[in-house]
Amino acid sequence: MLIAGNWKMFKGPAATRAFAAAFEPPAGVEVVVAPPFVSLAAAVESGLTTFAQNVHWEPEGAYTGEISAPMLLGLGVAGSLVGHSERRQYFGESDEGVARRAKAALAAGLRVIACVGETLAEREAGKTEQVLRRQVSVLEPNERLVVAYEPVWAIGTGLTATPETAQEAHAFVKSLLDAPVIYGGSVKPDNAAALMAQPDVDGALVGGASLDIESFASICTAAARSHS
């Protein structure tokens, strides 16, 4: 069971240190946090298993605003998210770019959580499997790769896929690629246990609820109990 907290554009270094000092992950679950780039060093130094929120495919070069896998490794960062729906939606990241980022990060020795998922319009049009097949097809099997299924319609909206819907999507992704699949999409303490109980749900990518220590700890505990 892997629980990853995506802090998005929240928590600077001081807030990160305060969180780390107060947070005690429960036994039986692996917990990672993905803070903003400015807080990576603080998270690592505080003893948290730390992922970046994105990583570039080149080791260095004229890519203003980007960060490379060797730079992250030099900080002690363990892995990175790639292809989060917000990166795709707001910054135009493509399946090809996501694949290049994932491949370079994995080759450098980072772990990767690659995000996939359909929009509400795609789901209503019956294209969920088509979209997932397209997004997953560019990823190559790797022991350090985890896929995060995040239905875009359930991110920051308060909507959540039912446990049965999540299970169906996770099983489909696993039929395409041999990798653990975690669920992301408005995961909260009150729905975490039901989601984690599904046989093909291997953890969660938690957004807003990961910013609050009590909420995040509750989700982590639910995950630990579900496979104990």
Report the domain count for the chain: 1
Q: Taking the CB of residue 223, how many other CB atoms lie within 10 A of it?
A: 29
Q: Are 80 and 37 in contact (CB under 8 A)?
A: no
Helix axes 213-226, 189-196, angle to 10 degrees: 20
Q: Is 118 a catalytic residue?
A: no
- Tens digits of residue pLDDT in 145-155: 999 999 998 87
- Tens digits of residue pLDDT in 124-148: 999 999 999 999 999 999 999 999 9
Q: Are 85 and 113 in contact (CB under 8 A)?
A: no
**Which is the catalytic residue, given 86, 93, 118, 150?**
150
Q: Which domain holds residue 19?
A: 2-226
**Model pTM score:** 0.97
Rounded Cα gap, residues 68 and 40, in angstroms: 13
Rounded Cα gap, residues 105 and 221, in angstroms: 30
Q: Taking the CB of residue 137, how many other CB atoms lie within 10 A of it?
A: 11
Q: Is the pLDDT of residue 228 over 70?
A: no
Rounded Cα gap, residues 101 and 57, in angstroms: 4
- Domain of residue 136, CATH code: 3.20.20.70
Q: Is 150 a catalytic residue?
A: yes
**Which is the catalytic residue, given 56, 84, 86, 93?**
84
- Tens digits of residue pLDDT in 2-47: 999 999 999 999 999 999 999 999 999 999 999 999 999 999 999 9
